[in-house]
A and B are shown apart, each in its own frame.
Chain A
Amino acid sequence: MQFRSVFDIIGPVMIGPSSSHTAGAARIGLVARQLFETEPEWAAFHLYGSFAKTYEGHGTDVALVGGILGFDTFDDRMTTSFHHADKRGLRYTFIEEKAQPEHPNTVRIRLGKGEDVLELVGISIGGGKVEIKELNGFALRLSGNHPAILVMHDDRYGAIANVATRLAKNEINIGHMEVSRKEQGKEALMVIEVDENIDSETMHDLTMLEHVRRVTKIHD
């Protein structure tokens, strides 16, 4: 079941005109921003399929930039996001890709600040609902509609158990979890969807665990 909540259907409250091309795009941008943890200096948006064909008409470009600036789907500042980006010093470009994507509404976002670069692939599956399919080369499946923790860790035995045990101790229930890696024994990514927003104490606890390199979160 891709759609779990009645509010995926009756909702979201949003600035028009398109739930998939405006609200969904804003949500993908927002997830990218949350995972980058800070305001990037530049953003590049590679647009595929229907996104590439109709992004200007649907305000997909405005919404993606709005998301990167941290605006939610119903934020009044959304329509003037380019203006806010200029004021805040965010440089952005849009690239229309010709390749046929698996899903018609696909965007590859690259964000950067200094040495730090984040690359994420998101799809907008309808009604404002999105999925993140790839993060820094790791395949994953993340809705962005629920709070989640992303843990970059060494691909070693015990790493997953350590994280799960710590979450259990802090009384956090795991709703969905998956692990992805590029090569055996190297770097791996744990994606854990949870029911409630994660507090900073838990984030800190997770960071201190053995084999854990970096912890980021997505909140409601």
Chain B
Amino acid sequence: MFKNAEELVRIAEQRSVPISEIMIEQEMETYDRSREDIYAQMDKNLEVMEQAVERGVTEQVQSVSGLTGGDGKRLHEYLQTHTPLSGELILDAVSKAMATNEVNAAMGTICATPTAGSAGVVPGTLFAVKNRLEPTREGMIRYLFTSGAFGYIIANNASISGAAGGCQAEVGSATGMSAAAIVEMAGGSARQSAQAMAIALKNMLGLVCDPVAGLVEVPCVKRNAFGASNALTAADMALAGIESRIPCDEVIDAMFRIGQTMPSTLRETGEGGLAATPTGRKYQAEIFGK
């Protein structure tokens, strides 16, 4: 059993196996389940993610409030007709992350990774990186186990709840998880995965949870967009051999302590930040009439 990132990396190095393998074996042991059984369950989750992405980039989804929907599709179409300045792979990930989160906001079916509000980052990056690295189906399933391993560490040592730790605990966690998984899929080492996770999460620290009208829409959809692009940037940096001066576990701990000192108005109460702006309040009044 690994309790933190350092232990996870050390076990993977000692045994010369990828991080995904450690997570798979721990799940098998904890629940006395077969590898096939666990793979099948993760494959189902992968299918749900695939369908949500597909729906979000092709259909004109819209939330009940009307605040979000259609931007993932818009960006997807822009990519077909324009040469983007920032890079095709990054924007592909961004459009798919937004698409997933828009489907979520429209009360569609998604897979929480690690939460519903942050459900865009992991599949968004996965289905974009997939086109470049061309992994097998198993490789894609492993991507989810690697991101799950880092999410497991964050959830047990800090938090993955916006109400407890702000958006840094949700989109921040999803970004770190994705960065680590991208590194593994690209052939980087376990240690580089942890570096990518640290670099990614460091740059999401302090991010508050301030949903307009209390809805998982504004700014959630676009925060998933930037989570996806941050994850890819952090992964490339780690693959280049760049290291975080602050170790991964200490970054996670810092995130936890920042969350604890965050005022409750900025932890998913819809009372502060963007929710408390004149326009945020106006939307709330229009939607709920109060």
Contact = CB atoms under 8 A, between A and B. Distances in A.
Interface string A1-15: 111111111111111
A126 B32 contact: no
Interface in B193-224: 211, 213-217
Contacts, number: 176
Interface stretch (B8-16, B78-86, B151-159, B230-238): B151-159
B112 A19 contact: yes
A202 interface: no
B260 interface: no
Interface in A49-74: 49-50, 53-54, 56-59, 74
A126 B152 contact: no
A17 to B, nearest CB: 4
Interface string B251-283: 000000000000010011111000000000000
Given A5-B27, A13-B45, A127 B115 contact: yes
A13 B48 contact: yes
A72 B151 CA distance: 24
A58 B65 CA distance: 11
Given A57-B215, A58-B216, A126-B159, A13 B44 contact: yes
Interface in B130-162: 144-145, 147-149, 151-152, 155-156, 159-162
B154 to A, nearest CB: 8
Interface string A71-106: 000101011000000000000000000000001110
Interface in A6-41: 6-23
Given A9-B148, A105-B163, A126-B164, A50 B268 contact: yes
A124 B115 CA distance: 12
B66 interface: no
B211 A126 contact: no
B77 to A, nearest CB: 23
Interface stretch (B102-110, B184-192, B239-247): B102-110
Contacts of A49: 163, 264, 269
Contacts of A105: 161, 163
B107 A9 contact: no
Contacts of B65: 57
A20 B48 contact: no
A187 to B, nearest CB: 33
A159 interface: no
A167 to B, nearest CB: 17
A205 interface: no
Given A54-B269, A54-B270, A127-B160, A17 B216 contact: yes
Nearest to A125: B161
B216 A50 contact: no
Contacts of A178: none
Contact of B41 (A7, A59, A125, A195): A7
Interface in B62-114: 63, 65, 103-114
Contacts of A16: 103-110, 116, 119, 216
Contacts of B115: 18-20, 126-128
Q: Which 6 A-B pairs have the closest CB atoms?
A: A126-B161, A54-B214, A16-B104, A57-B214, A9-B151, A6-B148
27 contacts: A2-B155, A3-B152, A6-B145, A7-B27, A7-B148, A9-B148, A10-B111, A10-B122, A11-B112, A12-B111, A14-B111, A16-B109, A17-B63, A19-B117, A20-B163, A20-B268, A22-B116, A23-B116, A49-B264, A57-B214, A79-B107, A104-B264, A104-B269, A126-B159, A126-B169, A128-B112, A128-B116
Given A10-B45, A104-B164, 14 more contacts: A2-B155, A6-B152, A9-B151, A10-B113, A10-B122, A13-B44, A15-B107, A16-B116, A50-B163, A56-B288, A78-B107, A126-B164, A127-B155, A195-B32
